[in-house]
Amino acid sequence: MKLANGSTVAIVGGGPGGTLTAIFLLDLAQQLRRQLTVDIYEPKRYTCTGPTGCNMCGGVISESLIQMLATEGILLPDSVVIDTINAYILHTDFEAARIDAPRQEMRIATIFRGAGPKGSEHQQPLPWQSFDQYLLDMAIAKGARLREVSVSALRLEEGFPVLIAHDQPPLRYDLLVGAVGINQKKSLQLFEGLNFGYYRPKTTRAYVAELYYGVEQVQQRLGHAMHVFLLNIPHLKFAAITPKGHYATLVILGDQIDQEVVDRFFAAPEVQKCLPEGWSIPVKPCHCQPSIVIGPAKKPFTDRIVMVGDASVSRLYKDGIGSAYRMAKRLAYTALAHGVSGKDFQKYYWPVCRTLLWDNRLGHLLFAFDNLFRTVPLLRRGMMALLRRERCQAEGTACPLSSAFWNTFTGSASYWHIARELLHPMTIWKLLRELLLRNKTHSS
Ligand SMILES: Cc1cc2nc3c(=O)[nH]c(=O)nc-3n(C[C@H](O)[C@H](O)[C@H](O)COP(=O)(O)OP(=O)(O)OC[C@H]3O[C@@H](n4cnc5c(N)ncnc54)[C@H](O)[C@@H]3O)c2cc1C
């Protein structure tokens, strides 16, 4: 079962998982001198502002992903990169600590997935470009065909996937790629209904809002730093405000985030300091409550069908686009170099998903530790003291805690790498020393 000259591929979903798969398939096919027909099915218009054009995400791209994309010839233009971040500010209930990029060249990019937040259409022409549209245009430039319709039915005929979209006649393909993300339950049901054992990943509800500050207030209140909040609010695991030109993107992750958590977050004094002076929460900011992947899908492939991106697996709470990149690249290699049978995907594609899956298990463990720091004030004080001490150290001295935080927030490294930094005997010893010092100061 191979993708030969003249083979056809349907990609359902034109988010990063789908477009990167198309780009890698078409690039590799060209190198192998094979002619492929690649159809991307995507009804969303990324040129529209607000929810119509948006794939609901924080829009932070780690420096490692920027570099990996650059090696593929995918250079993000200035119009796509809205801001760059060179530091994190970690806010707790009693103080804040700054964590600078470990190296000068380490920069994180912030992007809009669609054309921008609801209401930004009043700025004409828009000063930025959609990240998803940029990837989609690149896939089209490489030869992919865009079908601006939603796929409404799938079936198998003589072992081949057949796809029905809107009013077009059923089409049979040699390979069907499910890149439908996690937010459209009906689309996930279409793949589950093919009965090859696929079952959607486990998810929870997150919260994203685009808050209008104006450029000056963004600079004044946030600068070029992402503001991360370690607050003791039930259900909240991670909350961050990220500068994005005129806007600040708020992301709240945790266990079924609801309006009560959001209200408690906004009311926290540490958060108020990062909002423009005299600012009150708009009645209806551009916001959404998307699902976020917290567990892997079951059996994301079979003969001639494979799932990619969020619909398969994603790195826990970070680097979803980077995960989609890794899977898309391996998928294209498997399909063209080896084949499109379930066995080929098991042997060559599954390892990349499995690595993410195992890493996420460690991620869950690290977030359990994070909970401990969030709820025990003494631990929090010790951690902040160590971060402060690392910042005062001479340049070139190892700063394992700052580095672990940097890697956690940026998504630049695996949880395995972060755990090695955090659980290094020297880091534990330094933290214990800070805790003892704090304890002494408190009791004297
Ligand atoms: C709150 C939150 C914050 C996040 N922040 C970040 C971050 O800062 N950085 C990061 O790297 N990742 C982040 N992520 C994760 C990231 O958004 C996802 O990992 C990424 O979007 C996955 O890409 P995808 O292509 O698999 O799915 P998606 O981006 O969801 O794309 C799926 C596409 O499929 C289309 N589709 C669905 N059904 C059909 C159908 N039947 N027919 C045709 N098309 C269909 C949809 O319209 C959509 O465009 C965040 C996620 C959440 C929830």
- pLDDT tens digits for range 201-225: 999 989 999 999 888 999 999 999 9
Measured in angstroms, how far is the CA atom of residue 321 from the centroid of ligand 1? 8
What is the whole-number distance in angstroms between the Cα of residue 43 and the centre of ligand 1?
Answer: 14
Q: Does the pLDDT of residue 265 top 60, yes or no? A: yes
Q: How far is the CA of 307 from the centre of ligand 1 (A)?
A: 13
Average pLDDT over residues 106-131: 86
**What's the gap in Å between 181 CA and the centre of ligand 1?**
5
pLDDT of residue 278: 77
Task: Look at residue 433 in the predicted model and tell me its pLDDT.
Answer: 86
Encode 138-162: b = buried (16+ Cβ within 10 Å), e = exposed. Answer: bbbebbbebbeebbeebebeeebbb
Work out the average pLDDT over 412-417.
88
Lowest mean pLDDT among 23-27, 218-222, 338-342, 384-388: 384-388
For residues 368 and 362, what is the distance between their CA atoms, to the nearest angstrom? 10
Share of the chain above pLDDT 90, in %: 61
Q: What percent of the chain has pLDDT over 70?
A: 96
Average pLDDT of span 392-408: 77
**pLDDT at residue 100, as a whole number:** 82
Ligand 1 atom index nearest CA of 149: 43
Of the candidate CATH numbers 3.90.550.10, 3.10.20.310, 3.30.390.50, 3.50.50.60, the domain formed by 7-46+130-201+295-358 belongs to: 3.50.50.60
Identify the residue whose tokens are 């630049």: 412
Report the CATH number of the 77-118+207-289 domain.
3.30.9
What is the reported pLDDT for 234? 87
pLDDT at 254 over 90: no
Instruction: pLDDT band for 428, please (50, 70, 90 cuts).
Output: confident
Could you tell me if 49 and 121 are in contact, meaning their C-beta atoms sit under 8 angstroms apart?
Answer: yes
Q: Whose CA is nearest to atom 12 of ligand 1?
A: 320
Mean pLDDT of the region 105-126: 83
- Kindly report the protein residue whose alpha carbon is nearest to atom 34 of ligand 1: 13
Q: How far is the CA of 294 from the centre of ligand 1 (A)?
A: 14
Ligand 1 atom with least separation from CA of 17: 25
Which atom of ligand 1 is found nearest the CA of 320? 19
Q: Where are the domains of the chain?
A: 7-46+130-201+295-358, 77-118+207-289, 376-443
Residues within a 6 A CB radius of ligand 1: 12-18, 41-44, 55-60, 150-151, 179-181, 183-184, 187, 206, 208, 251, 290, 292, 309-311, 314, 319-322, 324
Quote the ligand 1 centre to 419 CA distance (angstroms): 27
297 CA to middle of ligand 1, Å? 15
